[in-house]
Structure 1
Amino acid sequence: MDPRILDRLSCPVCGEPLAETAAGNARALRCPRRHTFDVARQGYVNLLTGRAPHVGDSAEMVAARAEFQAAGHYDIISTALAAAATEAVARLRATPASEETTAGVRGERSDAYPLVVDAGAGTGRYLGAVLAALPDAVGLALDVSKPALRRAARAHPRAAAALADTWQRLPLADGAAAVLLNVFAPRNGPEFHRVLDRAGTLLVVTPADEHLTELVDALRLLRVDPDKADRVTATLGGHFTPVSSTVHRAELTLTRPEIATLVGMGPSAWHTDPAALAERLAALPEPGRVSVAVRLDAYRPR
Structure 2
Amino acid sequence: MLKKIDRGQIFLHDQLALFRCPKCQQKMISAQNYQLRCEQHHHYDLSKKGTLHFLDHHVKTDYDKEMLGHRQKMIQAGLYEPLLAIMKDLLVEDHVSTLVDMGCGEGSFLNELANLNVPGVKIGFDISKDGVALATEQEAEAFWCVADITNLPFNDDSVSHLLNIFSPSHYGEFHRVLKPGGKVIKIVPETNYLRELRQAFYADDQTKQSYSNEKVVRKFAEEMNLISERHLTYTFDVSEELQMDLVKMSPLHWGASAESLQKSRAQLIEKITIDLLILVGCK
Smaller-chain TM-score bracket: 0.7 to 0.9
Is 2:40 the partner of 1:33? yes
Is 2:243 the partner of 1:236? no
- Percent identity of the aligned residues? 23
Amino acid at match of 1:153: T
Q: Give the TM-score taking structure 1 as reference length.
A: 0.81
Gaps of 5+ in 2: 1-7
Is 2:22 the partner of 1:15? no
**Which residue pairs with 1:106 in the alignment?**
none
**Which residue pairs with 1:288 in the alignment?**
270
**Which residue pairs with 2:94 in the alignment?**
88
**How far apart are the structure 2 equivalents of 1:262 and 1:57?**
15
What is the alpha-carbon root mean square deviation over aligned residues? Answer: 2.2
Structure with the larger helix share: 2
SS in structure 2 of the partner of residue 7 of structure 1: helix
**How far apart are the structure 1 equivalents of 2:282 and 2:16?**
25
**How far apart are the structure 2 equivalents of 1:182 and 1:56?**
19
**Which residue pairs with 1:216 in the alignment?**
198
Q: Is the Cα contact below 8 Å between 2:232 and 2:275 reproduced in 1?
A: yes
Cα-to-partner distance string for 1:162-209 (whole Å, 9 max, x where unaligned)? 10111x310001111111001111111110111111211100011111
Q: Is the Cα contact below 8 Å between 1:137 and 1:158 reproduced in 2?
A: no
- 1:275, distance to aligned residue in structure 2 (A): 5.0
1:1-302 alignment runs, 5 A limit: 1=8, 2=11, 3-18=13-28, 19-22=30-33, 27-52=34-59, 54-55=60-61, 57-89=63-95, 114-134=97-117, 136-166=119-149, 168-220=150-202, 222-226=208-212, 228=213, 230-256=214-240, 258-274=242-258, 276-282=260-266, 284=267, 286=268, 288-301=270-283
Amino acid at match of 1:225: Y
Cα distance, 1:156–1:189 mapped onto 2, change above 3 Å: farther
Q: Give the TM-score taking structure 2 as reference length.
A: 0.86
SS in structure 2 of the partner of residue 88 of structure 1: coil
- 1:298, distance to aligned residue in structure 2 (A): 0.4
Gaps of 5+ in 1: 90-110
**How far apart are the structure 2 equivalents of 1:134 and 1:176?**
22
